[in-house]
Amino acid sequence: MSISPIPQNTVMTGNGGFITFPWLRWFDELVNGHVGDATTLDGVAATGYATAAHLHTGVYAPAGAFIDEPFDAGHFDWSVAAGNQITLAYTISGTVLTMLWQIDASTTTAGAASLTMRIPGLYAAALSVSGFHTYSTAAGGWDIGPVETAVGSGNVTLYTRTRVAWPAEAGTIYTRGQLTLEIA
């Protein structure tokens, strides 16, 4: 099936609204292929939409590949060694940061009410955000617990499901998660 480019003088209406030509042009280029150079749409710098790489399918790849955060024991307030950090990565689109983590076989001490991990890239949260992570302890097996960050904080706080203290365990604490937040 061949799709013809949408003429510039076309106005699309529906539900009492209309789509302006710049948006119409962007949709047309997204469906029919890239019209500008590698970093713009029709020669206009891209802002707020994905244009990182144009594939031959006529679809733009998402902006911002994930960036691996190098290991730094100072990013954690519990015992995490270089080999325990399987994944700590982030991507940014505008002011939105999405982080991924997988920390395996780490160690905690008795009485730790929460575990704290630095937001990758040394960013700070612009909004308070909550989410969930999966975690495992030798004492309790796999479970789901809350994750949160506060306005202005550069850290993510990890809790057990019931927010009781983390058990003291050597090499048996695992956590995996993803959190999306606005950064300052």
pTM to 2 decimals? Answer: 0.66
Q: CA angle, corner 141, sides to 136 and 142, nearest 5?
A: 55
33-45: average pLDDT: 45
- Residue 171 belongs to what H/E stretch? strand 169-182
Residue 132: give the domain boundaries: 67-182
Among 50-59, 96-105, 174-183, the minimum mean pLDDT is found in: 50-59
Quick one: pLDDT band at residue 89, thresholds 50, 70, 90?
very high
- Shared domain for 108 and 167, answered yes or no, is yes
- Asked whether residue 139 is domain-assigned, the answer is yes
- Shared domain for 56 and 129, answered yes or no, is no
96-123: average pLDDT: 94
Q: What is the pairing mode between strands 129-137 and 169-182?
A: antiparallel
Q: What is the pLDDT of residue 158?
A: 98
- Shared domain for 102 and 151, answered yes or no, is yes
Q: What is the pLDDT of residue 63?
A: 55
How many structural domains does the chain have?
Answer: 2
Q: Which residues 6+ apart lie within 8 Å of 43 measured at CB?
A: 36, 37
Mapped onto helix, strand or coil, the DSSP state of residue 91 is strand
Q: Which residue, chain included where needed, has tokens 């031959």?
A: 56
- Shared domain for 45 and 100, answered yes or no, is no
Q: Which residues 6+ apart lie within 8 Å of 150 measured at CB?
A: 125, 128
**CA-based max dimension of the chain:** 69
- Shared domain for 106 and 177, answered yes or no, is yes
Write out pLDDT tens, residues 130-169.
999 999 999 889 999 999 999 999 999 999 999 999 999 9
- Shared domain for 95 and 80, answered yes or no, is yes
